[in-house]
Chain A
Amino acid sequence: MNNQTEDEQLIAEARSGDMSAFKLLVERYEGKIAGIVKSMLGDTPESVDVGQEVFIRFYESLDKFNGSSTLGTYLIRIAINLSLNEIKRKKRKNNFFRPLEDGHQVTSEATGEDVREMVHHEIARLDPEFRLVVTLRMIEGYSTEETAEILGIALGTVLSRLSRAQKKLKNALAKHAAV
């Protein structure tokens, strides 16, 4: 039985009130959704709230899910929308990411983990539309075609956003290498 068939069966069971089937679906997609939400919002308590909201929205709309897209894509779209809403909400409150004018501070004896953290910090500083393509393509490993489909944008747009984001990240890394 492939994943999609298993998903369909679990959805049918969840619709009829089987919470253990719904729990299995949550466990199956938690990693994927966490990767996206945390990449968009950082490892914050809000990201867990958004993660819960993604699955609650899915639960509420179990009857409406018609399988026109895969469950993964469906959940990712909800996660993206809720993450973008959260970013807007935070921007309105004007406290989104404490300003770090000089970028992430990395000492000369930085470890590989520090460099990784610095790059992720730079990703968090990208505009949401760039952060989204980086998250889906570079972090979650979707193909450029899948990324374009999930975001509903042209393939060329995905490639140009990736290129610009890649250059920014490379420059940050080069700056760090020069320290």
Chain B
Amino acid sequence: MTQQELEDQYIRSLDVPMNNQERERFLTELRAHPTFVKELNLHSKVRELVTPKAPASFGPYFASKLIHKIENTGVVIDRQIFSFFKRFQLAALGIAVALLILNVMFADQANLKSVFGLDRTPTTTTDEEIISFDFYETLNNDL
């Protein structure tokens, strides 16, 4: 095992502990490189140095300041009811598009009025003329 491999295995062991067999083999190999032990110890030293001595903090009264900010800057909870409607936005859009396509397909003419059904004319045909009929005049004439 080269020194590089030994170092890699040692670093790995800091996160994934070696099993007994691996440890035995590692120690045997390490005996062939006694001067390398000091080098490996530096890795342990790094781990020791990065371990925080005290819990981190954002400074005194962080939570109080935050609550004050929330209460005074109009931050509000994004209510789930709106999210519920948002969830169906895409489906609603799809239905609207499908209806539009159907309207286009079945439109009488290729114009917006026809597609949106705005050009509806009365159902009476021009052929039927309304003939005025004065009942009394007709009656008097007959007499």
Contacts and interface: CB of A to CB of B under 8 A. Distances in A.
Contacts of A120: 50
Contacts of B59: 48
A38 B52 CA distance: 12
Contact of A119 (B49, B67, B70, B71): B49
- The main secondary structure of chain B at its interface with chain A is helix
B80 A162 contact: no
A47 B62 CA distance: 12
A174 B71 CA distance: 51
B49 A116 contact: yes
B37 interface: no
Interface stretch (A1-9, A61-69, A81-89, A100-108): A61-69
A31 interface: yes
Contacts of B58: 30, 33-34, 47-48, 51-52
Contact of B80 (A34, A63, A115, A116): A63
A33 B63 CA distance: 12
B46 A169 contact: yes
A157 to B, nearest CB: 13
B118 interface: no
Given A26-B62, A48-B59, A144-B16, A166 B80 contact: no
Interface residues of A, number: 46
B113 interface: no
Interface size class of B (residues with CB under 8 A): 35 or more
B67 A22 contact: yes
Given A27-B63, A52-B66, A56-B69, A163 B42 contact: no
Interface in B48-65: 49-52, 55-59, 62-65
B14 interface: yes
13 contacts: A19-B71, A22-B67, A26-B66, A30-B62, A34-B58, A60-B75, A63-B83, A138-B50, A166-B46, A167-B7, A170-B39, A173-B46, A174-B39
The 8 A-B pairs of least Cβ separation, nearest first, read A34-B56, A35-B56, A63-B80, A31-B55, A26-B63, A119-B49, A51-B58, A169-B46
Interface of A: 15, 19, 22-23, 26-27, 30-35, 38, 47-48, 51-52, 55-56, 59-64, 115-116, 119-120, 123, 134, 137-139, 141, 144, 159, 162-163, 166-167, 169-170, 173-174, 177
